[in-house]
Each structure stands twice: as C-alpha cells, then as structure tokens.
Amino acid sequence: MSGHDSKYFSTTKKGEIPELKEELNSQYKDKRKDAVKKVIAAMTVGKDVSSLFTDVVNCMQTENLELKKLVYLYLINYAKSQPDLAILAVNTFVKDSQDPNPLIRALAVRTMGCIRVDKITEYLCDPLQRCLKDDDPYVRKTAAICVAKLYDINAELVEDRGFLEALKDLISDNNPMVVANAVAALAEIQDSSTRPIFEITSHTLSKLLTALNECTEWGQVFILDSLSRYKAADAREAENIVERVTPRLQHANCAVVLSAVKIILLQMELITSTDVVRNLCKKMAPPLVTLLSAEPEIQYVALRNINLIVQKRPTILAHEIKVFFCKYNDPIYVKMEKLEIMIKLASDRNIDQVLLEFKEYATEVDVDFVRKAVRAIGRCAIKLERAAERCISVLLELIKIKVNYVVQEAIIVIKDIFRRYPNTYESIIATLCESLDTLDEPEAKASMIWIIGEYAERIDNADELLESFLETFPEEPALVQLQLLTATVKLFLKKPTEGPQQMIQAAKDVVLAEKPVISDDSNQLDSSLLDDLLANISTLSSVYHKPPEAFVSRVKTAPRADDEEFADTAETGYSESPSQGVDGASPSSSAGTSSNVPVKQPAAPAAPAPMPDLLGDLMGMDNSIVPVDEPTAPSGPPLPVLLPSTTGQGLQISAQLVRRDGQIFYDISFDNGTQTVLDGFMIQFNKNTFGLAAGGALQVSPLQPGTSARTLLPMVAFQNLSPGAPSSLLQVAVKNNQQPVWYFNDKIPMHAFFGEDGKMERTSFLEAWKSLPDDNEFSKEFPSSVVSSIDATVEHLAASNVFFIAKRKNSNKDVLYMSAKIPRGIPFLIELTAAVGVPGVKCAVKTPNKEMVALFFEAMESLLK
Amino acid sequence: MAGAVSALFLLDIKGRVLVWRDYRGDVSALQAERFFTKLLDKEGDSEAHSPVVYDDAGVTYMFIQHNNVFLLTASRQNCNAASILLFLHRVVDVFKHYFEELEEESLRDNFVVVYELLDEMMDFGYPQYTEAKILSEFIKTDAYRMEVSQRPPMAVTNAVSWRSEGIRYKKNEVFLDVVESVNILVNSNGQIVRSDVVGALKMRTYLSGMPECKLGLNDRVLLEAQGRATKGKAIDLDDIKFHQCVRLARFENDRTISFIPPDGSFDLMTYRLSTQVKPLIWVEAQIEKHSRSRIELMVKARSQFKERSTATNVEIEVPVPSDATNPNIRTSMGSAAYAPERDAMVWKVKSFPGGKDYMCRAEFSLPSITAEEAAPEKKAPIRVKFEIPYFTVSGIQVRYLKIIEKSGYQALPWVRYITMAGEYELRLI
C-alpha cells in the first residue's frame, strides 16, 4: 500500500501562495483537501505558509478525519506565530472534544495540548477535565499525557484546576495503558517541580505492579522507571517487589529488561539474605548477556550500563567474559565499549584468553581501536600482578610488528607498568630503545624519556640517548621538554661526573624520591556517583556516566507567582559544603580510562549549576552567600528535631536559631541513619519576616552511616524579606548529593534578635513610654509561666538581652520594667507583672512597631517557660 | 525520573530533514539539522559514531540508520535511551509494514500517513503504540482509506494490545518455524573462542477469534517439575525472551508458555544456548604468499554433522588481498569465484551432506610493487553461511501447541526446524 503524495511537492511557477489560497477556499471538498496537502507538503520542505492561516483553519470543520489531522498538524506548527488567529480554531477544538467518535475527542485534546498559545490553553481546561473522565480509555490515556503538556505551559493552572488530583486518580484506572500514561505524566511533573507531587505509597505500588503485567511494552518501561524512585520499607517488601518484577527479564523488549534490572539492583540493596542476592545475580546474568544480541545501538546502551553494573556487582558477569569478545562486524562504538568491560572482567583465571583477544585486536585496522587494545593490555598488567609478565611479553611481540602507532602506545603503557612494578621488568629496556627513532607522538616520547631517566644507571648509553632528543628540544611540546629536563637531572644525579656531593644528595632526595605506586583504575567511578547512575540504568545518565543534572537542559517551570519580583535576581547558588561527587564524573587516569570513542559527552556541571537551581526556583531566593572558613563546632543541649528520620529516608535533622556573641547562628545537626555516606550538604532558607539567610557555607563533612554532625551556621538578617504580616515561620530546605531535597519548617524565636544594645536608662524609658500613644500598648497573660525568684528571672532574661530597668511592688505582685531592642532600632518597653511562685505572668508592652507584638509575646512566653 | 524526546526527525543520507514531528517545541529542525549534518561531515562514516551524541547546547541526539534514511530524536531530558532507540527501530518496522520499504522516496510518497503515524506512535515525546497491524486498522494509506473510522480499535488500549477482535479465517492454521543460528568464533590456532546458539520460534498464525494457545517444549525445567520421565532429550535453555503476548508471570510460576497470538507473523520467543557446540562446518585455509608476485590459497571444508542431514546453500568467503588479480580457481565440489568488491573469494556449494570433505585451490597474482609504508591489511576472517533443514543444534522439540477458541474450531500447527549460520567466523593467521 504505497502512496503518491510526492506529487504535492511539485509546485507551479507562478505565485504559489495566492494559488493555494484560492484552492483552499474552493467549493469542492476534494480540491480543498488537496490544497491542504500541498500546504503541508510546503511546510514539510520548510517553506513559510503561515500566511494561509485563516484559509487553512477554515477547512478544519470537516467530517474527513485525514483532512482534520492535517489542519491540526498545521495548527501545531503555526499557531505560535499567529496567536491572535489561533483563537479561530478554539470553537472547533471544543466541539471536537465532545465528538461521538473517541478518535476525534482524543485528537482534539492531544492537539490542543501541543499548541503553546495562552489563549488556546485557557480553553483547554474544560475539555481536558471531561476527557480525563471519558468512558473510552483511548481518550483517557491521551488526556493523561495532556495534563503533563499543560503543566509544561502553565503549572499554576494545572494545580488550580485540580488536574493533579485527577491524574493521581487515573493511577487506579482499570485500564493499564491509562495507568502507564498517568505514571509517565506524573513522573514528568514531579521532575519539574520541587514539591512532592507524585509519591508512591505501598497502595499505589501494588496498583502499578498489577498494571505492569498488562500494559504495552512502552507502558511497562514508564512504570518500571517510576518505580525506581520507590524505596522499599524493609527487606521483605524489597523481595516482594523483586519477585513481581523478575518475570520482566524474559520480555523481548530490551528496554523493559534493562528497567527491570534497574529495579532489581536497587531493591537488592535492601535485601539482607545472601542467598536471595546470589540467586538474583544468577538470574540477571543471562538477560544481560542476551542484550548483546540486540541491534548495535541497543547493545551500545546495554554495554554502557553493564559497565556500571560490573563495577557494583562484579560477580554477575564474572564468568561471561567471552560474550564481550568483539565480532568482526561490530560497529566501532560497540567494540570500544566491549573492550572496557573486558578489562573490568579480566582476572587471573581468564587473562590468557583475554590477552589473545587483545593481541588480535591490536592488529586490526581501526587506529583508535588498536590503540585502545594496546592500552587495555597495559591496564590488565597493572590490575593483575600475576599476569603482568605475560602482558609485557604480548606488548613486546606487538612492538616487534613495528607498526608505528602500536609501538608508541605500547611504550606509553610500559612506562605505567614500570611505575606499578618498579625494579622488575627493566630487562626489556634494551628492546624498547630499539624503537627510539620511530617515536613521534609527544606522549610516547615523554614516556620513553621517563624510562631512560628513571633507569639511567642501567642503560650504558643513557647520555647518548638523551642527547639525541636534546637536538630538537626547542621544538618539542612542553610535555616532552619537561620530561627531558627531569630525565637529564636524574641522569646527572645517578651518574655524577663531578660536583658538590652534598648538593647532589639533597637533589637526589627530591628527584629520585620513591614514587607512589600507581594502581588499577578500572573501577574508576566514585561509589556514590555509581549508585546514582545505577538508579538511572537505561537512561541517558547511565550512557554518559554523568548525573542527570550534568546534561538535562530542560527549562524548569516558572516560579510561583509571589516570587516574580525576585525572578531576575534569583541566580542563587547553594552554599556548598565539601562534596566529592561531581568531579568523580570525569574519569581521568594515566592509563587512558576515558573512552576513545568519538562521542561527545556532557561535561560535569560547574559548581553553580548552569540551570536555575531547584531551591532558588521554589523560594525565590536572592541572597548571595559569603563563605566562612572556620567551621564552628558547637555543643550544647539537644536540638529540636525538625525532620524526623522517617520522613528523611533515614536522615534526621534537628536545628534551632541561637544568638551567640551578638550574632545569630543556625545551630543544626544531622544524623545519618541511612546505609550510605551523605555528602554535599547545602541549605537554603525561604523568604521570611526577618529576612534571615545563610551567612556562610554549611560546613558538614561527608557523613558516614550511623554518625552525626553538628554545626553552627552563621546567619544574616534582612537579606530576603517576605512581604505580608510578620510571622515566625522559617521554611528551610536542605539537600545533599544522595537524597532528594528535604523541606521543613522552623520557628524564628524573636529573642534571637534582641540586641546587646537594648538597655535603656530609666529616664529615657519613661520618656519613651510616655511618647508612645496608648494604641501601641498591648498586654498578654502567660498563664503557665512562673516567676520563682525575681533575681533569677532578671538574670535569665538579661542573658537573652532583655534588660532590667526598675521594679516596684503592687500589692502581692511584683512589677518589673524592662527593655529590649531588635535591629533597626525598634525598642520594646516591657512591664511584667507576677506574683513570685504563683503561675501566671502578665506581660504589657509598648512599641512603635505594632505588627511585631504578636511575635514579641511568643518570644517572651518561651523565655519565661 | 522521567524523560521524553523533544522531536523526531527523518533525515536523508546527508542529514537533511525530510519529515519531522515537533513534540515539545524546545528543539528546532534547523538546530538538529545543523548539528547532525556537521556530525556526518566530521566522520563521514556513521558507523564510527555512537548512537547517542550530546551537543553543547544541552541536547542529546539519538539515531539509527535504515537504508538511506536516518531516524533521529532530540531530547533535553534524561530519557530512557534503550527505550527510545528501540522505539526508532519499531518505527522502521511500522513504516516497512505500511510502505514495504522505508527509504527517502517512500517517505515523500506517503508524508501524510507518516505524519499521522508519528502523531499516533508518540505523544509529547513518550512512545505510545507501535503495533503496525493494529495501527493500519485506523490509519490507512490513500488506496485503502475509507470514511472516518468510528473508534480506535479496542486493541490500542486493551490488555491484549496486539490483536483485534473479530478476525475470521476459513481455514485455521498455524505455522511454527524453529530457526537456530549458530554463532561461532574460531581463533587462528583453531581454538574455539566463543560459540553460542540463538534460536527463535517464528510463528505465522491464521486463526479466527481470540485463540488461547499453549506451547509445550522439551524444556528440562518444566519436565522435571512435572516429574515426567523424559523420554527423548530434554534441553536447557539459557535465556528465553518472549513476545509481549506471552504471560510472563505465568511462565515464571510454572514454565507454561500461554498466550493469545497476534495475527500474522511474529517471533513468539527467542532463546540462547551457550553450551559449546562442535562447529558444524569446519574450514581450514592455507595461504602462501610467494615473494611479491602471487598468492596461493588452499581451503578445506568439512561437514561435522550426521550423514543423514545435509547443509544447503553453503557459502564460504575467504579474504584475499585487495590488490589480487588473475584468479585461477579449482574446486572439488561447487563453484568458487573472485569477488573483488568484498576482497574475497566466495566458494558456493549447493548441497553439502554430513561427514564430507571438500577442497578448493586458488591462485592470484599480486602486483610486484607496493607502497613503502603500506597500511596494515585488513584482517578479515573466513566467513561461512549455510542452512541445515530438519535439524536443530539444541535438540529443541515442540511437544504440542494447543489452540483453544470458544467457537471450538480445530486448527493444525505445522512445525519446521532449521539451523543456519549466524556470525560464523574463523580467523586467519
């Protein structure tokens, strides 16, 4: 069934657009349809046909589904350039969304969601609401995705109209495809929001696992990928999940298999029974091997992932190294990845066979591949001490072939082998020296010179050899020059002709000092990064071996409305504590671990993330942060728990604002109850009444499991003031490299702001009292507070910068007059009335700043507790 | 974790956009085209590129090639790479189902349907539906187009998403082909480096209604679980992959293979056997280079299977230097010819019974002058192709295929067995 649409691409010479316009307005249906096809054909080859907007939209009301689809397609392309005219289409859209034919209803919402024009979006809400509850699952599954589209355009509208709830309801839909699409939509919305929206509970978990058995292969991938965010409560639940997911390993679709492997690996972390773990490892091996029979592109993704998996669980594929041997027709990018994995799986048991393979590869024609094969031999030598000698003899055989780039590569790796096993294999130096003249690559030259310098005393003609290099010294690149200098000095020190012995000895101590032994670097990824990547199996992150933040460039949805005023200054970075994760992303090693495949991989993120940062977005922060060097080690009474470990996935956070030496600090403590090291802690505060913000970097060193750390974070005030009525609410967000962002609320105790300068003279107190109108006087009873001794109370309050001025007796009660001051010179004139030993304190206060009174009472009450 | 692609492009061999569908409006065709054409220019050879490429503007491109068409996605999110690349392959399958062949011309000839399919197969960058047979029930090319279909086929959203209801055949038949491919790699010293067998159960069903099928194999695990005395040979299958129609949970439970099949042809299951097998056809080649003037080949081929089986269409490809000329070839069986476009001599034997030895001798002239620093010769292996009908390496047997449909018709399954060479390579010294 082949078409003949190409005729629509042919054009007449004279004025195409006017002619099309005429045809679009023809009274004959067929002519109009042909005209629309011509318009789409023109659009396809990149001609601008937006001027026909009105005429095309006029063809929209048709019974012909094909024509309708074409007009819709046109709208998706041009509505943005003609937003005012796009409104013409709204009526038909709305009408179509109620058409008796579900295909047309779905088509209408699907298309409306793709038109990113505000005016259309407004009209989308009602049809979408209906379609989410449509009788036909085809319409519901389309509507589910449409919610994600709308969220991308206007997140607020989605929340206001309750679409999130509707979407969550669809997780319980009886149709598996609807469930799968709802999951995909929710996962996407969650990704672009910092609030928890899509939380998988044990209830949703069972719904998802059920839908997994019935939905299409693509839907299964959505569901499995969303399950990777679920943390099982205990080993039993983890085993349960694994049991339900394991059958997916038998699916013909490789993406389903990989996502299932991801879930199993993640849940395995929680499973304690070694038998179960061993069994699972055994079960995963055959499906992973079978992935290598897939299309080469899929193989590539699989190999990048297997690279990660063998770093975490080397046993899974320990006996399968043969399947990674390269086939003659494998594309080069597959061969390169196979080589990496062969190195990782090489062991004393299989090294002979592996070396035979490497040797075979080293005589192929693709230069990059050959080089990598030679390096691979070197890496095996460094990794496996007992096989080093065999590796070297293979390298020597290769040098004998005298293929220039093979020789150079071999010399580079032999240098590394010498460093790894000093004073062991020097006997081969003579053979190496034979190839001296053929070296023309800087790295190979530098390596050879290093070898000559290092073993100068054993090479009879070392001086001659070095001299031969010196002739071209000025032309050499810095790398070679540097090596030549060092080698010359070494030569001099080892074979001194004459000179002051003392100086030579001193120089010897430096230049000829024992070098640290280099080690095997084939398991190069930092363990926390590795875990991150394993949670991302099958995704781009696992292909790049970089965390998603390093390359995802998707623009986050706009910040909440009240943040708009800060939008342009919202480029706040986190205050960062020492972190180790990010740099580990770019493997660097002398033995050439980085892949030679000409694939461009995203760079690791620079310290302040290039995209708008999460917290800044949510909270509209604009405080810039001054790093403070000396971490303050606090101690003292236990702090109130603000983030219980149950909410924090094992991390417990306790904190309190305190005042020390006239400065405000956030006394914060972290308890790591998780199984992993947590690092890279950062903190951020939402806008608040006092404009409190972090005044320095959060100093928390990487936190081992089961340990805790407490620190004093200096705070600055009046940095990010929130408008509106004063409130003691302090919203805090904390993140680290391993976990999601945690949010919790704290209270700002106003007394932390009471200044040391708050003491007033009696006279000025009286004057101030009198000068303030009575309107500014407030009083409050603290029924549960007790003054047990006047002196103790006075002293206690003075410690918090509430200063005593005078007292008098009123019948059986004592009246105390006191003063306090908060920044910006706002005084509080206080009168406390209490009977010693009797519960109940009356507090009266006069202050020019009436709004603060409520907070003031809160503070006084807590001080008098 | 979620991720969708921003757009899907169909490009010609030079990387120019033929048709594209914008799903999210954040990557333009111009941007993609510019990046991709540059990428192709740089290496000239798409083989060299990994199929996942990142540009500096924060966009990841993933692509596959089919004939003279590239299928390319652009994405700004952390999308599921395996899923997207596999999806592109499925898109090829769907287009092939519609246009017989996917190439530049067929895309142009059918651009209207192409747009319709792209709209249906993917929504907002998420793969949705790729069952060609069902899609063609409601998206039709001109020749088959009727008036507006009244609803999407139930199958699109059903748990059984691969089969429509109401299929009718006068004669209900099932054809089951068991095809095993032998992959083998032999080192220059005659040592078998790796060998495995990949099998597939290829089905063609012409069945009415919604038939429930149950397949029985001589699977050792199943037979032992049922406590059945294994008459004949039971076999171990290393890894089995099933078409999505097979109930995986059921298989995991009691190793029963039960399913409602799609209509027409599909791969019901594939399996892998990593037990080492004796190479079915063994080839040895002696190559002698006489000074710089000529080269002599002596190739011996031996069939190492039982005499009652016969290999057909045997093709042995022996590499020769690319500058060889004047072939002079003699064979004891079949015919051999120089294939300069493959830098090889190809020896064909139509019928090669078990337990036989055949020979082939050849002589080529070589130019006496060579470049001083000649690049190393490409070291291609000997490659062998063959088919052995009525024979499987694994010994797999279909014990039964039960077909139950509520109308109660009788359907006969036809089973055939065949073994083929897969990647069958013997390295030369």
Among the listed residues A189, A110, A191, the one whose alpha carbon sits nearest the alpha carbon of residue A152: A189
Binary contact (A145, B124; C-beta < 8 A): yes
User: Which structure tokens are listed for A179?
Assistant: 């469930």
CB A665 within 8 A of CB A714: yes
Among the listed residues A171, A137, A131, the one whose alpha carbon sits nearest the alpha carbon of residue A149: A131
User: Which structure tokens are listed for A463?
Assistant: 């001086």
Share of chain A above pLDDT 90, in %: 37
Give residue A836's domain range.
754-863
- Decide: helix, strand or coil at residue A784: coil
Residue A333 has its nearest CB partner, among B50, B106, B375, at B50
The CB density around residue A345, as the number of other CB atoms within 10 Å, is 21
Provide the pairing of β-strand B69-75 with B122-123: unpaired
Residue A413 has pLDDT above 80, yes or no: yes
Residues A731 and A858 in one domain: no
Residues B24 and B137 in one domain: yes
What is the number of helices (H) and of strands (E) in chain A? 34, 14
Binary contact (A287, B64; C-beta < 8 A): no
Within a domain: B134: yes
Distance CA B178, CA B180 (A): 7
Within a domain: B374: no
Å from B298 to nearest chain A CA? 23
Q: Which of A171-185, A789-803, B13-27 has the lowest mean pLDDT?
A: A789-803
Nearest-CA residue of chain A relative to B269?
A: A252
- Structure confidence at residue A763 as a pLDDT band (50, 70, 90): confident
Residues A693 and A788 in one domain: no
State the pLDDT at residue A627: 36
Among the listed residues B288, B365, B301, the one whose alpha carbon sits nearest the alpha carbon of residue B334: B301
Binary contact (B53, A599; C-beta < 8 A): yes
Last residue of a domain, one of A237, A252, A267: A252
The domain tally of chain B equals 3
Distance CA A487, CA A480 (A): 10
Binary contact (A177, B240; C-beta < 8 A): no
Residues B34 and B55 in one domain: yes
Among the listed residues B186, B141, B187, B137, the one whose alpha carbon sits nearest the alpha carbon of residue B164: B137
Within a domain: B397: no
The CB density around residue A814, as the number of other CB atoms within 10 Å, is 16
Please report, for the domain that includes residue A459, its CATH number.
1.25.10
Task: Find all residues with CB under 8 Å of B228, minimum gap 6, and list them.
Answer: none
Please report, for the domain that includes residue A47, its CATH number.
1.25.10.10
Residues A59 and A140 in one domain: yes
- Decide: helix, strand or coil at residue B160: coil
The domain tally of chain A equals 4
Å from B302 to nearest chain A CA? 23
How far is residue A536 from each of residues A118, A242, A265, A600, measured CA to CA in Å?
35, 17, 11, 19
State the pLDDT at residue A585: 37
Give residue B353's domain range.
281-368+379-389
Residues B186 and B214 in one domain: yes
Nearest-CA residue of chain B relative to A183?
A: B2
CB B120 within 8 A of CB B139: yes
Residues B262 and B285 in one domain: no
- Structure confidence at residue A11 as a pLDDT band (50, 70, 90): low
Within a domain: B275: no
**Phi, psi (deg, nearest 5) at residue A820:** -150, 160
Distance CA A45, CA A421 (A): 63
Q: Which of the pair, A490 or A613, is modelled with greater confidence?
A: A490
Binary contact (A333, B43; C-beta < 8 A): no
- Return mean pLDDT, chain B: 89
Residues A741 and A760 in one domain: no
Residues B61 and B140 in one domain: yes
Residues B410 and B345 in one domain: no
Residues A165 and A53 in one domain: yes
B418 at interface of A, judged by CB pairs closer than 8 A? no
Within a domain: A326: no
CB A166 within 8 A of CB A185: no
Q: Which residues of A touch B269 (CB under 8 A)?
A: 252
Within a domain: A705: yes
Distance CA A456, CA A463 (A): 8
Residues A162 and A248 in one domain: yes
Residues B147 and B184 in one domain: no
Per residue in A449-503, pLDDT (tens digit) is: 999 888 888 888 888 888 888 888 888 888 888 888 888 888 888 876 665 666 6
Within a domain: A858: yes
Q: Which residues of B touch A327 (CB under 8 A)?
A: 185, 423, 425
Residue B385 has pLDDT above 70, yes or no: yes
Distance CA B60, CA B74 (A): 6
Task: Find all residues with CB under 8 Å of B352, minimum gap 6, and list them.
Answer: B281, B301, B303, B310, B311, B312, B314, B333, B334, B358, B386
Residues B209 and B97 in one domain: no
Q: Tell me the one-letter amino acid at A699.
A: Q
Within a domain: A677: yes
Within a domain: A575: no
Residues B250 and B290 in one domain: no
Q: Which residues of B touch A266 (CB under 8 A)?
A: none
Handedness of CA A160, A165, A166, A171 (dihedral sign): positive
Mutation choice for A interface testing from B50, B77, B130, B194 by most A CBs within 10 A: B50
Convert B87-106 into a string of H (helix), E (strand) and C (coil). Answer: HHHHHHHHHHHHHCCCCHHH
Distance CA B118, CA B21 (A): 7
First to last CA, chain A: 86
Among the listed residues B225, B211, B256, the one whose alpha carbon sits nearest the alpha carbon of residue A247: B256
B211 at interface of A, judged by CB pairs closer than 8 A? no
Residues A788 and A734 in one domain: no
Per residue in B183-225, pLDDT (tens digit) is: 999 988 888 988 999 999 999 999 999 999 999 998 888 888 7
Residues A821 and A760 in one domain: yes
Please report, for the domain that includes residue B22, its CATH number.
3.30.450.60
Residues A675 and A774 in one domain: no
Among the listed residues B16, B21, B29, B17, the one whose alpha carbon sits nearest the alpha carbon of residue B4: B21
- Structure confidence at residue B90 as a pLDDT band (50, 70, 90): very high
Distance CA A345, CA A376 (A): 12
| Residues 818-847 in A contacting B (C-alpha not used; CB under 8 Å) | none
Angle of helix A274-290 relative to helix A296-312, nearest 10 degrees? 160
Last residue of a domain, one of A697, A731, A748: A748
Within a domain: A59: yes
Residues A680 and A760 in one domain: no
CB B301 within 8 A of CB B283: yes
Within a domain: B355: yes
Within a domain: A780: yes
Convert A670-684 into a string of H (helix), E (strand) and C (coil). Answer: EEECCCCCECCCEEE
Please report, for the domain that includes residue A853, its CATH number.
3.30.310.10
Distance CA A151, CA A157 (A): 8
Residue B58 has its nearest CB partner, among A226, A553, A597, at A553
State the pLDDT at residue A584: 37
Q: Name the residue with tokens 């469930």.
A: A179
Within a domain: B286: yes
Within a domain: B163: no
B19 at interface of A, judged by CB pairs closer than 8 A? yes
Per residue in A773-784, pLDDT (tens digit) is: 888 888 888 888
CA angle, B152 then B154 then B155, to 5°: 105
State the pLDDT at residue A621: 38
What's the mean pLDDT in B261-286?
91
Nearest-CA residue of chain B relative to A110?
A: B123
Highest-confidence range of A454-463, A653-662, A848-857, B53-62, by mean pLDDT?
B53-62
Within a domain: A553: no
Per residue in A526-575, pLDDT (tens digit) is: 888 899 999 999 999 999 999 988 888 765 443 333 333 333 333 333 43
Å from A85 to nearest chain B CA? 19
Residues B11 and B110 in one domain: yes
How far is residue A207 from each of residues A199, A235, A464, measured CA to CA in Å?
13, 20, 78
Distance CA B60, CA B77 (A): 8
Per residue in B398-409, pLDDT (tens digit) is: 999 999 999 999
State the pLDDT at residue A138: 94
Q: Name the residue with tokens 């290769």.
A: A398
Q: Tell me the one-letter amino acid at A383.
A: K
Residues B61 and B102 in one domain: yes
Per residue in B280-295, pLDDT (tens digit) is: 999 999 988 886 788 9
CB burial readout A466-505, b (16+ within 10 A) else e: beebeeeeeebeeebbebbebbbbbbbbbeeeeeeeeebe
Q: Which of the pair, B131 or B3, is modelled with greater confidence?
A: B131
Helices (H), B158-234: 220-225
**Phi, psi (deg, nearest 5) at residue B18:** -95, -55
CB B99 within 8 A of CB B106: yes
State the pLDDT at residue A15: 61
Provide the pairing of β-strand B173-186 with B412-426: parallel
Residues A202 and A88 in one domain: yes
Within a domain: B262: yes
State the pLDDT at residue A3: 67
Radius of gyration over every alpha carbon of chain A, rounded to an integer in angstroms: 36
Q: Tell me the one-letter amino acid at A542.
A: S
Nearest-CA residue of chain A relative to B47?
A: A331
Last residue of a domain, one of A716, A748, A780: A748
Distance CA A445, CA A443 (A): 5
First to last CA, chain B: 50
Residues A854 and A720 in one domain: no
Any bridge partners for residue B336, and if so which? B347
CB A399 within 8 A of CB A410: yes
Could you give the strand order of the β-sheet that contains B52-54, starting from the edge strand earlier in sequence? B17-22, B7-12, B69-75, B60-66, B52-54
Please report, for the domain that includes residue A718, its CATH number.
2.60.40.1150
Task: Find all residues with CB under 8 Å of B295, minimum gap 6, and list them.
Answer: B287, B288, B289, B320, B321, B324, B363, B364, B366
Residues B315 and B285 in one domain: yes
Residue B330, classified by CB atoms within 10 Å of its CB into exposed (0-12), middle (13-18) or buried (19+), is exposed
